[in-house]
Structure 1
Amino acid sequence: MTTELTVLVLAALLAVVQLGWNAVRANLEMGPDWFLTPRDSAPPQPLPVALGRLKRAYENHMETLPLFAIAAIVVTLAGASSGLTAACAWIYLAARVLFVPAYRFGWMPWRSFIWAAGFVATVLMLLAALI
């Protein structure tokens, strides 16, 4: 398996961890009653700030993961895997891991720089697949 695909699997596992963390935190902080319903209505109380930030960090990861997955798969299938694409894959994953505390604790403007590092790494992988 290429490095890029290995990192893709790790990025998917990060999503699993984030989803689980959000679910546990939400149940602990807001109680299980609303979460056991079909959620046809708004929650009885707004999400606490920290929980809302964790939720948005997860949602952001889910928005960037498809682009990274395309990059990792195309680089592998095109036989374009290289030191550059492997480094970009690791940069993407490191950025996604760092993005969680950056979002949770409101590290401004670092959160945006961390997000940009992961995005640029993904774009570089896509471009490398074309060359």
Structure 2
Amino acid sequence: MTADLTALALAGLVHIIYFLFFSVRANRELDLDYALGPRDGTPSREPSNITARLGRAYDNSAAMFGLFAGAVLLIAVSGQPSTITAVLSWAYVVLRVLYTPAYMLGLTPWRSVFWIGCLICCAGLYIAALV
């Protein structure tokens, strides 16, 4: 497996771990009936700021993961893995690992710096596929 695909696999695992972390926190804070039900209404309690941030960070991660996965798969299918694409892929993983805690803890401007770094990594991978 190429370094790019290994980074993609790890990014997927990081995404799952952060989802589980958010999910466990949210289910502990919200009532069980709401957590197990169809979630048509609003919960009887609001989540804490940290849990709400984790939810937003997860939503962002879900959106960004598609961009990253598409870029890495494009590199793999086109047979263009390189040192540059490996560095961009691994930088993406490191930045994603840093992003969620930064968002959860309200670390400005670092949350935005990590997010922009992830976007730059994805753009670099797409550019590398075109070159």
The Cα of 1:107 is off from its aligned counterpart by 0.7
Q: TM-score, normalised by structure 1?
A: 0.96
| Residue ranges of structure 1 left out of the alignment (5+ in a row) | none
Further displaced range: 19-28 or 88-97: 19-28
Residue 34, structure 1, aligned to residue 34, structure 2: yes
Give the deviation of 1:120 after TM superposition: 0.2
How many residues of Structure 1 are paired with residues of Structure 2 in the alignment? 131
- Please list every run of 5 or more consecutive structure 2 residues that lacks an aligned counterpart in the other structure: none
Q: Structure 1 stretches (4+) deviating beyond 6 angstroms? A: none
Matched, 1:20 2:20: yes
TM-score (norm 2): 0.96
Q: Quick check: 1:51 aligned with 2:48?
A: no
Q: Which moved more, 1:33-42 or 1:91-100?
A: 33-42
Q: Match of 1:67? A: 67
Q: Which amino acid aligns with 1:47?
A: P
Q: Do structure 1's residue 94 and structure 2's residue 88 form an aligned pair?
A: no
Q: Which residue of 2 aligns with 1:85?
A: 85
Partner of 2:112: 112
Shift of 1:38: 1.1
Q: Distance in 2 between matches of 1:23 and 1:115?
A: 22
Contact 2:30–2:46, Cα closer than 8 Å, also in 1: no
The alpha-carbon deviation at position 55 of structure 1 amounts to 0.6
Contact 2:29–2:45, Cα closer than 8 Å, also in 1: no
**Amino acid aligned to 1:98:** L
SS of 1:25 mapped into structure 2:
helix
CA distance in 2, matches of 1:10, 1:62: 14
Opposite residue 32 of structure 2, the aligned amino acid is P
CA deviations over 1:8-28 (Å, ceiling 9, x no partner): 111111111111111111122
1:25 is aligned with what amino acid? R
Structure 2 CA distance, aligned partners of 1:31 and 1:90?
39
The one-letter code of the counterpart of 1:107 is L
For the residue of structure 2 that corresponds to 1:98, the secondary structure is helix
RMSD of aligned alpha carbons? 0.9
- The offset of 1:40, in angstroms, is 1.1
Distance 1:86 1:32 in 2: 43
